[in-house]
Amino acid sequence: MHKNQTLGEFIIENQSSFPYSSGELSSLLNALRLAAKVVNHEVNKAGLVDLFGNSGDINIQGESQQKLDIFANEIFIQALVNREIVCGIVSEENDEFIAINGSDKRHSSKYVVLMDPLDGSSNIDVNVSVGTIFSIYRRISPVGTPVTQEDFLQAGNNQVAAGYVIYGTSTMLVFTTGDGVNGFTLNPALGTFYLSHANIKFPEEGNIYSVNEGNYSNFPQGVKDYIKYCQKIEENRPYASRYIGSMVSDVHRNMIKGGIYMYPSSFPYPEGKLRLLYECNPIAFIVEQAGGKATDGKQRILDLKPNDIHQRRPFFCGNTEMVNKLENFIAKY
Ligand code: AHG
Ligand code: MN
Ligand code: MN
């Protein structure tokens, strides 16, 4: 690392430490970086849509206006497809996985990407931060053959890289290739990401808990007990309650300030709301790389063997000690 290092420089300098470094993963990260900038530009002017009088379905160019999560989906897919650097994509916005047939490099890529193109999208209308989450694996099926469902249904342990973009007060790209977590902040005037948060680690102690407490009465008893524990006046408690409703932002804050994020099973989500493959797994990888812990309440998230590309899972992550404490409460029932 050196002063004012850009994301592009960081990727080049660290390529040899990337798993299986062939340059392909670097190109893939570069494509995601580009898409993040395009989505950032659009997210930033979201509030202007009404100002220009385009509140209907048709905008000035006569194109039908898209919801930002659909827009983000298309931008990320386009960036990956155009550069022919992945053989397949799973997205929250697409029911089926997307198989990419490259022009001359047919099925030749060895990576698949799974993503939530816009996380927390209900926050867009009220100018609250949203994010993008991505997860990268090496395919299981042989290079040169069409991508298969099995290429996507891998345990989180197999991830070669994962990251998120947070479109917040400033825009950041945070990612890991299994060698720590690094955060880059976008300088909007230059359109360049600079390394601003090198080797992010959870602080020793956390004192924030983040959960949608409106669902409290439907939480499992162990989770209810843990929330009461967080609120108890004892030692360094009560903890502060902070919940944005954008997981990326909630986890990002907790990773920097210290805290626990929870999305338990509750009505109407018996398996929790968050998706294992493109929400829980990438965040779990990052959280562990930052010295924290991620669990479904009983098992380590990264050990779970998925059976459906859109499956949900209860999700808890944060400072290791806090997550351990929560697991102890859950284990009582
Ligand atoms: P998405 O916008 O991709 O559907 O995901 C939103 C997720 C997550 O970001 C957030 O923490 C959670 O849903 C909020 O759910 P509740 O409104 O139920 O708290
Ligand atoms: Mn989401
Ligand atoms: Mn989404």
Say how many residues make up the chain: 333
- Ligand 3 centroid–CA 69 distance in Å is 6
- Ligand 2 centroid–CA 2 distance in Å is 34
Of all ligands present, the nearest one to the C-alpha of 244 is 1
pLDDT score for 62: 45
CATH code given to domain 208-331: 3.40.190.80
- The set of residues, in sequence order, having a beta carbon less than 8 Å from that of 115 and lying 6+ positions away, is 76, 89, 90, 91, 92, 132, 133, 134, 135, 278
Pocket test for ligand 1, best of 121, 212, 218 (most atoms within 8 A of CB): 212
- Ligand 1 centroid–CA 34 distance in Å is 25
7-197: which CATH topology?
Answer: Fructose-1,6-Bisphosphatase; Chain A, domain 1 (3.30.540)
Judged by DSSP in three states, 108 sits in coil
Q: Where are the alpha helices (DSSP H) in 149-291?
A: 149-152, 221-231, 247-257, 281-289
Of all ligands present, the nearest one to the C-alpha of 273 is 1
Judged by DSSP in three states, 82 sits in helix
- Ligand 2 centroid–CA 168 distance in Å is 16
pLDDT score for 47: 75
pLDDT score for 18: 75
- Ligand 2 centroid–CA 132 distance in Å is 8
- The atom of ligand 1 lying closest to the CA of 261 is 11
CA distance 92 to 70: 10
- The set of residues, in sequence order, having a beta carbon less than 8 Å from that of 279 and lying 6+ positions away, is 92, 116, 119, 133, 247, 315
Pocket test for ligand 1, best of 67, 91, 122 (most atoms within 8 A of CB): 122
Q: Where are the domains of the chain?
A: 7-197, 208-331
- The atom of ligand 1 lying closest to the CA of 212 is 19
- Ligand 3 centroid–CA 211 distance in Å is 18
pLDDT score for 46: 79
Q: Do 7-197 and 208-331 show the same overall fold?
A: no
Judged by DSSP in three states, 183 sits in strand
pLDDT score for 121: 86
Q: Which residues does a 6 A CB cutoff place in the pocket of ligand 1?
A: 92, 116, 119-121, 212, 245-247, 273
- Ligand 1 centroid–CA 130 distance in Å is 10
Range list of β-strands (E), 74-204:
88-91, 98-99, 111-119, 130-138, 161-167, 171-176, 181-187, 192-197
Ligand 1, atom 6, residue with closest C-alpha: 120
Pocket test for ligand 1, best of 274, 316, 317 (most atoms within 8 A of CB): 274
Centre a 10 Å sphere on the Cβ of residue 322 and count the other Cβ atoms it contains: 28
pLDDT score for 54: 42
**pLDDT by residue for the chain (333 residues), tens digit each?**
677 899 999 998 988 877 666 788 899 999 999 999 999 999 988 777 655 544 444 444 444 456 888 999 999 999 999 988 899 999 999 999 999 976 555 567 899 999 999 999 888 888 899 999 999 999 999 988 889 999 999 999 999 999 999 999 999 999 999 999 999 999 999 999 999 999 999 999 999 999 999 999 999 999 999 999 999 999 999 999 999 999 999 999 999 999 999 999 998 999 999 999 999 999 999 999 999 999 999 999 999 999 999 999 999 999 999 999 999 999 999
Q: Identify the DSSP state of 6.
A: B
Of all ligands present, the nearest one to the C-alpha of 122 is 1
Of all ligands present, the nearest one to the C-alpha of 73 is 3
